[in-house]
Amino acid sequence: MGHGEESTTLNYLIELIDRVDDIYRNTTWDQEFSGYGVQIQQIIIEKSPTPVAPGKRHFNMRGSPVENRDVWDVKKLLEQFSADIADKAANVCLAHLFTYQDFDEGTLGLAYVAPSKPDIAGGLCSKASPSSSNRQRVMYLNTGLTSTKNYGKTILTKEADLVTTHELGHNFGAEHDP
């Protein structure tokens, strides 16, 4: 995103979220809901991979947890991100990971969908949920991710805007059309 420059990355993310916010705020939902948007509370830029002990994993580790694979499985990465940032995600309505990984089958993003019932975890302002890999650990399903790499190349800015808007739509409760 920022080609190793923290200030470039920061500006890219701020401008991206500003464009996504503009899309949401200028959309009227069912003639009665308007003015919804997103606002940045905090940006964390990971400058180097997080060291992990053998057999352990972290969303920001070098490579992936699968031996001889540099790229994570997108579902596993979202789950790991959700568990690793649980203490921060507990204090915000949404947490979104921006990464530069070339996921399988051209996948550019993934997010948990907010359910229609308030007592089920997932999406916007989600409550804690037990981690599927460690029952003693909680995770928050108010998360999503966007990759800006696809088939070996950096995607267009407009593509990143649309992917992020799409994934946040899932966090808001939108599902794919049948």
166 is in an annotated binding site: yes
| pTM, to two decimals | 0.91
Mean pLDDT across the stretch 128-133?
Answer: 74
> Of 4-13, 152-161, 167-176, which one has max mean pLDDT?
152-161
Give me the domains of the chain, ranges plus CATH numbers.
Answer: 6-172 (3.40.390.10)
The residues that are catalytic are: 167
pLDDT digits 0-9 by tens, 93-118: 899 999 999 999 999 999 999 988 87
Please give the mean pLDDT across all residues of the chain.
Answer: 90
Q: How confident is the model at residue 122 (pLDDT cuts 50, 70, 90)?
A: confident
96 is in an annotated binding site: no
pLDDT digits 0-9 by tens, 4-22: 889 999 999 999 999 999 9
170 is in an annotated binding site: yes
> Is residue 118 packed enough to be buried (19+ CB in 10 Å), middle (13-18) or exposed (0-12)?
exposed
Mean pLDDT across the stretch 138-142?
Answer: 87
Phi and psi at residue 147, in whole multiples of 5°? -105, 140
Contact 45, 10 (CB under 8 A): yes
